């Protein structure tokens, strides 16, 4: 179960540092825009859910200058940073993806990147997107899915096994491509596109990778919450295993598996 309050606090606290460390998230935005360009025409009303610091929204404003652009983010610090970046080009509000503060059929296009992996289930948020979209509207998203941080998860599980705690895995579970597609269908969307691509980030060592995760506010994705001696032993063993199994001349890899999806609101639920 993901602690949404902790997610909100982490991203709020790291808002000012986010852009300096979100290299993978920026690559996801660029790839997402390529996919979106193939799918969307000229929407007049666009909503960015989990807009963060406004990286995607700024480019959407450039691509669709005539559109009314709205952005929401759970973290007040992220919303404030996006508001500064976008100025009068967008309406920016603090809001939960599972409880969007808009009337039904308010948008022609809803987009989201690097956000929905922070939900325990996808149905409530996808249902809200369906509600606020006009008939025929397009929903496009990119989320980190199953396979993300597989090096970390594998090394952590091995470390837990080494100390007899194999039932205590606390790493984040990420959605599969099949789960994302099923959630789209359950909430009434016609699935237009669903694909998976990997982004690999390289770090000098495991501590550098873990620091980078924290600096973008993504602490829930890594097992960093323990502070006792027993947990420190597990972390030391995890870092040893990670380096031995995956390390090389370039350092250590961290894989982000990205699920890209596009759905259309084509009828009644």
The answer to whether the pTM exceeds 0.75 is yes
Give a yes or no: residue 159 inside a domain: no
What's the N-to-C CA distance of the chain in angstroms?
Answer: 28
Q: Under a CB-based contact definition with an 8 Å cutoff, are residues 33 and 62 in contact?
A: no
User: What are the tens digits of pLDDT across the range 194-236?
Assistant: 999 999 999 999 999 999 988 887 765 544 455 555 688 899 9
**Alpha carbons 19 and 252: distance in angstroms, whole number:** 22
Confidence (pLDDT) at 229: 59
pLDDT computed for residue 224 by the predictor: 47
93 has a pLDDT exceeding 50: yes
Is 249 in a helix, a strand, or coil?
Answer: coil
Domain-located, residue 232? no
Residue 178 within any structural domain of the chain: yes
Q: List the CATH number of the domain containing 40.
A: 3.40.50.150
| Distance set, CA 15 to CA 76, 155, 213 (Å) | 9, 29, 13
Give the number of domains in the chain: 1
**Averaged pLDDT for residues 38-62:** 95
Please report whether residue 193 resides in a domain. yes
* Residue 197 located in a structural domain: yes
What residues make up the domain containing 48?
4-149+172-202+256-265
Average pLDDT value over all residues in the chain: 91
pLDDT at 172: 84
Nearest to 50 by CA among 138, 178, 144: 144
Asked if residue 241 belongs to a domain, the reply is: no
Q: Please indicate, yes or no, if residue 209 is contained in any of the structural domains.
A: no
Name the band, by pLDDT with cuts 50, 70 and 90, for residue 49. very high
pLDDT score of 16:
79
- 246 lies in a domain? no
């Amino acid at each position: 179960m993901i602690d949404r309050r902790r997610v909100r606090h982490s991203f709020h606290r790291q808002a000012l540092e986010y852009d300096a460390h979100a290299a993978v998230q920026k690559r996801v935005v660029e790839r997402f825009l390529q996919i979106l360009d193939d799918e969307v025409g000229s929407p007049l009303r666009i909503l960015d859910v989990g807009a963060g610091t406004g990286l995607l929204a700024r480019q959407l404003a450039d691509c669709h200058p005539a559109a009314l652009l709205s952005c929401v983010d759970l973290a007040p610090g992220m919303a404030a940073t996006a508001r500064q970046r976008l100025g009068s080009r967008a309406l920016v509000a603090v809001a939960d993806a599972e409880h969007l503060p808009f009337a039904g059929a308010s948008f022609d296009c809803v987009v989201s990147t690097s956000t929905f992996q922070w939900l325990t289930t996808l149905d409530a948020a996808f249902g809200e997107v369906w509600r606020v979209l006009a008939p025929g509207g397009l929903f496009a998203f990119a989320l980190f899915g199953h396979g993300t941080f597989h090096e970390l998860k594998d090394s952590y599980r091995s470390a837990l096994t080494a100390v007899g705690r194999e039932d205590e895995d606390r790493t984040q579970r990420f959605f599969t491509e099949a789960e994302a597609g099923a959630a789209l269908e359950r909430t009434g969307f016609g699935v237009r596109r669903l694909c998976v691509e990997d982004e690999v980030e390289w770090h000098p060592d495991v501590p550098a990778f873990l620091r980078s995760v924290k600096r973008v506010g993504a602490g829930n994705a890594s097992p960093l919450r323990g502070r006792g001696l027993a947990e420190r032993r597990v972390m030391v063993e995890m870092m040893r295993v990670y380096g031995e199994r995956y390390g090389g001349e370039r350092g250590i890899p961290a894989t982000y598996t990205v699920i890209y999806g596009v759905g259309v609101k084509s009828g009644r639920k």
